[in-house]
């Protein structure tokens, strides 16, 4: 692993992330679809749960069973998944960055800024609530700089970590904290379990104006992690394909594009693959 010590949100921090598949975009990297309509998926899901054909038709709102071959393939488990628009767009951005470019940031400035400002307070609230000591960790990547993540905090003696999400909007507050729907954050948390070889990660839903912290522990599940790794490797293959296409075009146009610039502060390197029972935290 390579650790970068640049302060979060700085130009050097963004430079260290350039071209890297990050935990915060794990959901985009896994964005694949079977191409079926919502109604068709309801029918397929009902059949796979063990419903009869009549029950599945009723649940999906069909007067008769759908005749689509894709529906039958989905039931048999042979329907291939297709990359969604989110994954394709993200892969193109990464390919562009790896060739020395910079993909434009189009949204999320205010929410990101508030999240960065509130992160230390969320960390303090977590330590007060749990009694655990949390250490700050910089941005880390694999040695090949293809995958990386910034942990909001590490609990090294317990092989755990924290991911702090500030409830900026009221809709997010009610969806995640009140209704308990954390699906928006799960991929990022599992990414951390995979990348840092953790036993658990505490998802911290922090609402500063209400001075309330909700802590949800996500424990290591090898089957879930393996599925995430498979999806990430498939996504990386797509990124590499786009990068190769861009390299070919740039070469034909007159020369190679420059590689991303090095970070302004020297990174620290630790063991590439920590043993499953040996969480490694750099000494900053």
Distance CA(93)–CA(213), nearest Å, equals: 34
Task: Read off the pLDDT of each residue in 9-29 and give the average, rounded to a whole number.
Answer: 92
* 127 and 185 housed in the same domain: yes
pLDDT of residue 103: 73
Query: Domain boundary residue among 228, 259, 275?
Result: 228
pLDDT mean across residues, the chain: 87
pLDDT of residue 115: 75
* 45 and 169 housed in the same domain: no
The reported pTM is: 0.81
Q: Is residue 92 part of a domain?
A: no
Closest CA to 90 of 22, 182, 150, 143: 22
Q: Is residue 119 part of a domain?
A: yes
Interval 217-265: pLDDT, tens: 999 999 999 999 999 999 999 999 999 999 999 886 555 555 554 454 4
* 13 and 62 housed in the same domain: no
Query: Domain boundary residue among 213, 228, 243?
Result: 228
Tell whether the model's pLDDT for residue 142 goes beyond 80.
yes
pLDDT of residue 253: 58
Query: Domain boundary residue among 179, 203, 228?
Result: 228
246 compared with 266, residue with greater pLDDT: 246
pLDDT of residue 129: 96
* 53 and 164 housed in the same domain: no
pLDDT of residue 278: 45
Q: Print the domain residue range for 47.
A: 38-80
* 126 and 216 housed in the same domain: yes
* 65 and 113 housed in the same domain: no
Residues 6+ apart with CB under 8 A from 119: 8, 152, 164, 166
Task: Read off the pLDDT of each residue in 1-19 and give the average, rounded to a whole number.
Answer: 87
* 7 and 114 housed in the same domain: yes
pLDDT of residue 266: 46
* 7 and 145 housed in the same domain: yes
* 141 and 192 housed in the same domain: yes
Whether 20 contacts 141, CB under 8 Å: yes
- CATH code of residue 199: 3.90.320.10
- Chain centroid to CA 282: 23
pLDDT of residue 190: 98
* 147 and 13 housed in the same domain: yes
* 10 and 117 housed in the same domain: yes
Q: SS in 3 state form for the chain?
A: CEEECCCCCCHHHHHHHCCCEEHHHHHHHCCEECCCCHHHHHHHHHHHCCCCHHHHHHHHCCCCCCCCHHHHHHHHCCCCCEECHHHHHHHHHHHHHHCCCCCCCCCCHHHHHHHHHHHHHHHHHHHHHHCCCCECCCEEECCCCCEEEECCEEEHHHCEEEEEEECCCHHHHHHHHHCCCCHHHHHHHHHHHHHCCCCEEEEEEEEHHHCEEEEEEEECCHHHHHHHHHHHHHHHHHHHHHHHHHHHHHHHCCCCCCCCCCCCCCCEECCCCCCCCCCCCCCC
How many domains does one find in the chain?
2
């Amino acid at each position: 692993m390579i650790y970068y010590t640049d302060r979060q949100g700085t130009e050097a921090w963004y430079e260290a992330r350039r071209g890297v598949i990050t935990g915060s975009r794990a959901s985009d990297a896994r964005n694949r679809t079977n191409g079926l309509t919502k109604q068709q998926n309801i029918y397929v899901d009902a059949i796979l749960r063990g419903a009869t054909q009549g029950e599945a038709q009723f649940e999906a709102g069909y007067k008769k069973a759908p005749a689509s071959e894709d529906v039958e393939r989905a039931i048999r488990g042979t329907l291939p998944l297709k990359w969604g628009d989110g994954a394709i767009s993200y892969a193109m951005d990464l390919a562009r960055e790896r060739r020395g470019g910079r993909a434009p940031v189009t949204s999320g400035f205010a929410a990101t800024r508030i999240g960065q400002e509130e992160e230390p307070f969320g960390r303090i609230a977590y330590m007060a609530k749990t009694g655990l000591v949390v250490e700050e960790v910089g941005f880390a990547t694999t040695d090949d700089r293809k995958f990386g993540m910034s942990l909001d905090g590490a609990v090294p003696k317990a092989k755990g970590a924290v991911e702090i999400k500030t409830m900026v909007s009221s809709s997010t507050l009610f969806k995640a904290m009140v209704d308990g729907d954390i699906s928006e954050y799960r991929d990022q948390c599992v990414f951390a379990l995979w990348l840092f070889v953790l036993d658990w990660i505490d998802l911290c839903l922090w609402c500063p104006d209400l001075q309330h912290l909700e802590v949800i522990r996500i424990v290591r599940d090898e089957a879930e992690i393996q599925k995430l790794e498979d999806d990430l490797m498939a996504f990386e293959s797509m990124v590499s394909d786009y990068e190769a296409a861009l390299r070919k075009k740039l070469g034909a146009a007159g020369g190679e594009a420059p590689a991303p610039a090095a970070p302004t502060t020297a990174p620290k390197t630790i063991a590439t693959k920590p043993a499953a029972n040996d969480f490694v935290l750099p000494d900053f």
